[in-house]
Amino acid sequence: MDKFRLALSADFQRADGSPAYPSFDLGPLNDNSAIDWSYVAVENGVIAADAIAGFDALILLGGQFTAESFPGDGRLAMIARFGVGYDNVDVAACDANNVALVITPDGVRRPVAVSIITLMLALTGKLFVKDRLTRMGPDGWAKRSDHMGVGVAGLTLGSVGIGNIGAEMFRLAKPLDMRFVAHDPYTDPAVAQELGVELVGLAELFSQADVITVNCPSNAQTVGLVSEDLLNRMKPTAYFINTARGPIVDQGALTTLLAERRIAGAGLDVFLEEPSSADDPLFALDNVIVTPHSLCWTDQCFAGIGAADVKAVTDLMAGKAPVGIVNKTIADDAAWQTKCESYRGRFG
């Protein structure tokens, strides 16, 4: 019986051949005699079609999977993203090639929400400012009264999006006694009510919230959504946090706002260009905390994401539609169903 062939993008592997992320447990793959897995190269940031030919599924970390990445053999049935964002995969091309795109919302929900709370408390508590003062010695200590933090009780926490991560953020923030507002035209009002979140218009969100967070996916509808006009509606005492995707926000307008001290500060884990240039004007500002699109990267986060992707693989092998399919109509596609039936007969 032919084995199920699984590819992992090569950025899961160090240069010496060892796993780059040991908390991603590869044991279940090694223990399954029906699976033959190997790493595939990411060439110039892209998965090449000839590299992925002959594989049934791919677990993809950071490489791009474009329309040209699909091999002509038609064997590929699933791309499982290591995480929740999928802006590095051509979704329309997945449909055209009868391939399911799967993400792992349960694996990132808590880690990203924790990251948002971390940035909020670091900003309002002036954590990095006080760190710098301390390192200056007595002269810095003498200035500590000039940098009083801001208590969050009674402040308004706002979210652009109230999906998986946004909802978890509000759950974690509940003991902080904040007011919650959000904008999301797709959410179930009953979910918002259960979380104690008031649904408001986008402009209203930016003018009301003391802490604004971005918790929506990057797609054709959301790229540039957080515009200069919206940013200019923020209170001068407000903080802006983005752990979603950089292109959602007008980064130039945000940089100007921060440089001119028209808002209190920002916490950014994502940027318009990644990796960002060292001379990005944002990085010269002392009222912004920046992290390299990895604040949520913890052993628990990668263990959870990895387990979810492995589960997607074993579900596919059993001929079942995995949890977390982005292009949901693929489940009704006759060609994709044929692939699933073949796996069910061989491995189910």
**E strand residue ranges, 11-146:** 35-40, 42-43, 46-47, 57-60, 78-81, 100-102
Burial of 5-33, coded b for 16+ CB within 10 Å and e otherwise, reads bbbbbbbbbeeeeeeebeebeeeebeebe
Structure tokens at 125: 């508590």
Strand, helix or coil for residue 169:
helix
23, 94, 111, 253, 254 from 67: Cα distances, Å: 31, 8, 31, 33, 33
The reply to whether 245 belongs to the active site is: yes
**E strand residue ranges, 191-282:** 197-199, 211-214, 239-242, 265-268
The reply to whether 81 belongs to the active site is: no
Could you say which of 293, 341, 344, 346 is catalytic?
293
73, 78, 92, 225 from 95: Cα distances, Å: 15, 11, 5, 26
Could you say which of 132, 245, 261, 273 is catalytic?
245
Distance separating alpha carbons of residues 248 and 225, to the nearest angstrom: 6
Structure tokens at 50: 């000839």
Distance separating alpha carbons of residues 53 and 40, to the nearest angstrom: 10
In terms of Cβ atoms closer than 10 Å to its own Cβ (0-12, 13-18, 19+), residue 145 is exposed
Could you say which of 43, 228, 274, 341 is catalytic?
274
Q: Which residues pair with 198 in a beta bridge?
A: 181
The reply to whether 183 belongs to the active site is: no
Distance separating alpha carbons of residues 348 and 342, to the nearest angstrom: 9
Which residues participate in catalysis according to the annotation?
245, 274, 293
